[in-house]
Amino acid sequence: MPELWGVLNVTPDSFSDGGKYLEPGAAIDHGRRLLQDGAEVLDIGGESSRPAGRAYGEGFDEVPAVEEIRRVVPVIEVLAGRLGARVSIDTVKPEVATAALAAGASVVNDVRCARDPALAKVAAARGADYVIMHNRGRGEARSPNTDYGDVVEDVLAELLAAAERVERAGVPRASVWLDPGLGFAKTAAQSAELLSSLGRFRKTGYRVLVGPSRKSFIAELAPNPGGEPPPVDDRLGGTAAAVAICVAAEVDAVRVHDVFVMRQLIRVTQALHEAGGGAR
Q: Point out the residues that are catalytic.
A: 215, 255
92 in Cβ contact with 46 (< 8 Å): no
Helical H segments across 39-93, by residue range: 65-76
Amino acid at 127: G
What gap in Å lies between CA 139 and CA 150, rounded to an integer?
18
Residues 6+ apart with CB under 8 A from 208: 177, 178, 179, 180, 198, 201, 202, 251, 252, 253
Q: Please list the alpha-helical segments (H only) found in 169-235.
A: 188-195, 198-202, 216-221
Length of the chain: 280
